[in-house]
Structure formats: C-alpha cells, structure tokens
Amino acid sequence: MISGQDDLKQASLTRDDVAKRLGVSVSTVRRLEGSRLHPLITDKGVRRFRPAEVEQLAAVLAAEQNTPRNAEKAAVRAVELTKGELAGLVFERLEQRHSLAEIVIALRVPPDDVRELYHTWLVGLWAGELQRPEPALPARHSDQDVIRRVTREQLAALLDALPEHRSTRISVARVVGEYVIECDTNLVEYRNLAELGGFVVSGPVTVSEIAKRFGMGEYRISAYGLDAPGLRWEVFAEIDEESVSRAA
C-alpha cells in the first residue's frame, strides 16, 4: 500500500541504511520485511523505514546474538564454513565498518585470520594485481588512458542522465598514484587504484552523494546497469568542494 506524505516524513531510512545499522546484507533486510520490519512505500515504489522501528529491531537482534545458545551456534557454524563463505562474511562486516572484536565475536574466527582478510579487502583487485611479479594489465593503444577523464560538469551530467526506475550500480575506486612499467622500451603509466565499493541507485544521482559516501578525491567511477546487465559508462573524475557545491 502506498503511504501518505505525513507517514513518509517519519520513514527516512533506505534499505541500505537499514542494512548498515543492523549489520546485515540488503537481501537480509528484504527477508525481514513484512515480519520484523514494516516499510512504507512511496508513490514511486521505493521502500522507506522508520528509524524508531529499526533501532528497536537492532536492540532485539543484539540481545539475541549475545545469548549463550547463539554463541555456541556461531562457534559450530564457524567450523563448518568454507574459506569462501568465511571471506564473504568477514568482507560484509568490513564494508559495514565492524570492529575486529565485533567480527571475532560474531563469527568465532581467530583475530589473525580476520587481519589477513582485512589486508586483502583493503588491497583490492587492481592494487593486488600490481603487486604480482608480472601483473596483468589492460592493453594501451596510445599514451592516453583508455578510460576517459571528464570534468566535474560532465560527471554531473552523466549521473543526472541515469535512467529512471532502472537499477544502476555506481562503483568507485580512488586513484592513489601512478604505476609505471616499461613496455617495448617505452614507459607507460597506469593509475594505481584502491576499490572502495559502491551503491545501487534507481535513477539519477548527484556528485554530492558520491562525496558523502567516499569523500573528496580523484576517482574512477563506473555505472553498471543491473536490469539490463552492462556497463553504462566508466570515467576518471576529481570530486572537490566546488563540484559538490555546484551539484547541490
């Protein structure tokens, strides 16, 4: 049922907000809807959650997690996890900025294992590849980047042109320097990147939304369509206070 404006004013949280507060995935939030969460729906079909209800559920989940029986179940589950399952659970909590203690208590894994996974999570795909003796690098056909660099105005226009009511994942990687290799006796530079993750939108988004999540800096920003899978665009751009103020 579509909710009225007065009700929606009290429901300011998105699914992503709720997932971060509860320390769970967005898919888990979906499963909780209708039973332990009761979102309101806008006229565009977007679900919004009341902060008070989310806080109440967070307290309940914390109490449930700290019972001796659940702690015993977590310990048994940790033994049964494959390496991939464990990495996925740890990475999910690192994305949500859980502390080392919280991860060890929740998953019942040794702190040293968490630290190793934390290092891998921080290094990411591209920086990790550059650490190999012979890294795999994309082909370069000129001395210019294959991925184009855009101005703040062009970035704002690309974000504003994202299709309405269609899911797009915005992925962001920070440029942390240059990586220089010798290719056919010529020096070739690649940008050294640190992947920061991303978020899903269902229409246009502003530069300030990226700045709010990741701060100021030089980034590789990618827009990938989910409804009709495919890369919409991928660019390098710098986000600074001026670009954010113009987008406001």
Find the helix or strand (DSSP H, E) in which 16 lies.
helix 15-22
Buried-state track 203-217, b at ≥16 Cβ within 10 A, e below 16: eebbbbbbbeebeeb
Q: What is the DSSP string of 42-104?
A: -TTS-EEB-HHHHHHHHHHHHHHHTSHHHHHHHHHHHHH--HHHHHHHHHHHHHTT--HHHHH
- One digit per residue, pLDDT tens: the chain, 248 residues? 444 555 566 677 888 888 888 877 888 888 888 888 888 887 777 888 989 899 988 888 777 665 555 544 554 455 567 888 888 888 888 877 788 988 888 888 889 999 999 998 888 787 788 788 887 776 654 444 457 889 989 999 999 999 998 899 999 988 887 766 555 545 556 677 888 888 899 999 999 999 988 889 999 999 999 888 888 999 999 998 776 666 55
Closest to 165 (Cα-Cα) out of 34, 55, 46, 79: 46
Q: Residue 84 and residue 64: Cα distance in Å, rounded?
A: 26
Residues 6+ apart with CB under 8 A from 159: 170, 204, 205, 206, 207, 210, 223
User: Which residues face 231 on adjacent strands?
Assistant: 224
Q: Residue 145 and residue 46: Cα distance in Å, rounded?
A: 38
pLDDT tens digits, one per residue of 135-175 = 777 665 444 445 788 998 999 999 999 999 889 999 998 88
Give the pLDDT confidence score for residue 227 in this predicted structure: 84
CA atoms within a 13 Å half-sphere pointing along the CA-CB vector of 174: 13
In the chain the domains, ranked by start, together with CATH numbers, are 1-65 (1.10.1660.10), 152-247 (no CATH)
Give the pLDDT confidence score for residue 169 in this predicted structure: 93
